[in-house]
A = this chain, B = another copy of it.
Amino acid sequence: MARAQRELHLNIGLNTTGYIEPAWRHGATRLEDINDPNFYLEIARLAHQGRFDALFLSDHPALRTGANTRPFHTIDPLILLTHLAAQVPDIGLVATMSTTYNSPYNLARRAQSVDVMSGGRLIVNMVSSFNPDVAANFGAEPLPPRKARYDRANEFLDVVKQLWTSWTPGAKPAPDGQFWEASTGAPIDFKGEYFSIKGPLNVPVSPQRHPVIAQAGGSESGIAFAARHGEIIYANVLSRQAGQAFRAKLNAKAVEFGRDPAEILLVPGLVPFVADTREEALRLHERLHGAANEEELLAQFLRQFGLDPARIDPDKVLTAEEVMPDPEQGGALGFLLGMVELLRHEELTPRQAIRRSAGHHRAVIGTPEEVAEAIIDLWQDGTVDGYTVQPPRIREDTQIFVEKVIPILQSRGVFRDAYRSGETIRERYGLTAV
């Protein structure tokens, strides 16, 4: 990874009302907005004005219909991002896709199509899916166990990468009287445990040859997958120590796979609560979680980890063991481990811990200056390479971040003032050409 100067990278989450479920009550986003292309176009233009690296869309192919929910995953990410990329230049596109509920050829083709159409701006965030509601939309079989999902995911990426580079139209000139040299598209004849695929892909290499690969999982299987295939890691890192421990584990695994750890960038989630004063920001943090005050926020936090608020002293140190999830559980294990890792490395009371995470990602609460400082802090020493900013309220908090936090990051000289014309997202991230 050869670049003159290390850069801060910032993606921004774009899902429906914003990252924090109850926060919509304090925002202007309404049901009619969340499937309106012009709504997303407005946010994407704001993000472009803020010079974000990329728009990020998480995804589950299922509609959650429980009480007190709001739809969080609706329009297909590749379709929405294609629509936006056609109208907003420069900005990258992160689309989340399941390796469990797609076929490699179709996914490779669609993703490469977006990468070609957008001029090399696509990042695919590969997930193995963990939700039984998703499984039920794809047949009578239950969700495969985690290990089988990750085994499939690994082979899935092996074959997809081969497909992505199977047709290079310009590799040889067309013979006389022919439209093209057909041998520039070569079969891959892949035969694995899960997939048998002939190829070549009928979409050519893109301006960055193929999409950048992002990965989110923080479980052991997730880290192994990240080390083998990931280039951008969207994990939940709640402290310097936890980040460095995660990074060390990831690097060791990457070396096992023969990869240069410098080719794997850490861009964890970050949930900003920004106001003119720190006091206001703390109240905003409570309010956007649907809590009237700190005590309600505390109770909510403890219940989330299966703890009884009546039996826990909010001012006594909480141990990692107390918040440890059952490793056999079916959910997004990596997500729940963020708090465990935080408490392993720092002594924190519940009253302190509640201010460190929001929706499992790192919470930063304060004035624009404090938030900018917090962002620079873990970036400066290389703990992280940047963040995937998840605005609690999509419209309001994106606007505040772009108008108040970004200019500080720019004035400190750590964040770009302008896009470099025509660069691919792989170039922007300083990743080596594939």
Contact = CB atoms under 8 A, between A and B. Distances in A.
Interface of A: 17, 24-25, 31-32, 35, 37, 60-63, 65-71, 73-76, 78-80, 82-87, 101-103, 105-106, 109-110, 113-114, 116-117, 133, 136-140, 167, 169-170, 174, 177-180, 182-183, 185, 191, 195-204
25 contacts: A17-B179, A25-B177, A31-B180, A32-B170, A35-B116, A37-B86, A37-B116, A63-B201, A63-B202, A67-B182, A71-B202, A73-B202, A74-B202, A75-B117, A76-B109, A76-B110, A76-B113, A79-B79, A79-B110, A79-B117, A82-B86, A83-B83, A83-B117, A137-B199, A138-B197
Contact of A80 (B35, B113, B198, B204): B113
A88 B274 CA distance: 39
A202 to B, nearest CB: 4
B113 A102 contact: no
Given A35-B116, A61-B105, A197 B137 contact: yes
A31 B85 CA distance: 24
A393 to B, nearest CB: 12
4 tightest A-B CB contacts, nearest first: A86-B86, A136-B198, A63-B202, A70-B179
Contacts of A69: 179, 182
Contact of A31 (B31, B60, B169, B183): B169
A11 to B, nearest CB: 21
A137 B69 CA distance: 39
Given A35-B203, A101-B103, 4 more contacts: A70-B179, A75-B116, A79-B110, A83-B85
Contacts of A85: 83
Total identical chains:
2
Contacts of A70: 179-180
Nearest to A140: B196
Chain A interface mostly:
loop
A83 B80 contact: no
Contacts of A24: 179
B35 A200 contact: no
Given A138-B103, A182-B67, A202 B62 contact: yes
Nearest to A205: B35
A117 B37 contact: yes
B65 A200 contact: yes
A35 B169 contact: yes
A291 to B, nearest CB: 15
Contacts of A169: 31-32, 35
A174 B31 CA distance: 9
B110 A200 contact: no
A39 to B, nearest CB: 11
A264 to B, nearest CB: 28
Contacts of A71: 180, 185, 202
Contacts of A76: 109-110, 113, 203
Nearest to A79: B113
Contacts of A200: 63, 65
A113 B75 contact: yes
A62 B65 CA distance: 38
A80 to B, nearest CB: 7
A204 B35 CA distance: 8
Contacts of A198: 133, 136-137
A35 to B, nearest CB: 6
Contact of A83 (B65, B86, B103, B174): B86
Nearest to A37: B117
Contacts of A35: 116, 169, 203-204
A139 B196 contact: yes
A67 B196 CA distance: 25
Nearest to A73: B202
Nearest to A36: B116
